[in-house]
């Protein structure tokens, strides 16, 4: 009997509030979900930083049962030296 892979949801939190992930992704395990969370955080940060915005970004990972299993946070700042 094969075991069903779990679905993880990635909620993005920034200055505008929380964008709840209603679709999620089927991944083999929690480590894969944590890796995906970091990948997404870096992609979002790249877009934010390229537009000149500073931000604190967070991705909260939860399961189908709405249980939080991981959270990654990144703060972006830009300081003009001259």
66: DSSP letter: -
- The alpha carbon dihedral of 67, 41, 4, 23 has a sign of positive
- The alpha carbon dihedral of 52, 49, 51, 41 has a sign of negative
Could you read off the pLDDT of 3-57 as tens digits, one per residue?
Answer: 789 999 999 998 889 999 999 999 999 999 999 999 999 998 888 777 766 678 9
Q: Span 51-79, mean pLDDT?
A: 88
């Amino acid at each position: 009997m094969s075991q069903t892979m779990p679905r993880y949801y990635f909620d993005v939190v920034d200055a505008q509030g929380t964008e709840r992930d209603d679709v999620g992704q089927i991944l083999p395990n929690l480590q894969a979900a944590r890796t995906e969370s970091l990948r997404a955080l870096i992609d979002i940060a790249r877009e934010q930083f390229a537009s000149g915005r500073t931000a604190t970004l967070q991705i909260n990972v939860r399961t189908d049962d709405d249980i939080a299993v991981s959270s990654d946070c990144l703060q972006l700042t830009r300081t003009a030296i001259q």
